[in-house]
């Protein structure tokens, strides 16, 4: 990899991590607000967890693909391979 490719890869990784942290911040703030409103109106009840569940699953997947999977280099290499395959078919 040359210097430019390393820089692009690093920028993609930083953008992925920033996106996850913004998602996490929104998750915390919105769910804190929802919980406070529900506690004030309905009191503490076990159904408080329901708004968290679907979004939690999405946040877990987002974190997984950011820190474990979803490597931009592998995506780029797959795109390049597919482009080469399509070009060879068009000849």
Evaluate whether 79 touches 32 at the Cβ level (below 8 Å). no
Count CB-CB contacts under 10 A for residue 11: 11
What is the three-class DSSP state of 68? Answer: coil
pLDDT at position 57: 96
Percentage with pLDDT > 70 across the chain: 91
pLDDT band at 72 (very low <50, low <70, confident <90, very high): low
Mean of pLDDT values over 13-41: 93
Q: Is the pTM of this model over 0.85?
A: no
Q: What length does the chain have?
A: 91
Which DSSP category does 91 fall into? -
């Amino acid at each position: 990899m040359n210097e430019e490719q390393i820089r692009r890869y690093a920028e993609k990784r930083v953008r992925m991590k920033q996106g996850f942290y913004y998602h996490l911040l929104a998750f915390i703030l919105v769910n804190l607000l929802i919980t406070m409103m529900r506690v004030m109106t309905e009191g503490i009840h076990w159904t408080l967890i329901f708004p968290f569940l679907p979004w939690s699953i999405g946040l877990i997947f987002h974190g997984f693909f950011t820190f474990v999977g979803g490597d931009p280099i592998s995506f780029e290499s797959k795109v390049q391979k597919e482009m080469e395959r399509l070009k060879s078919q068009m000849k």
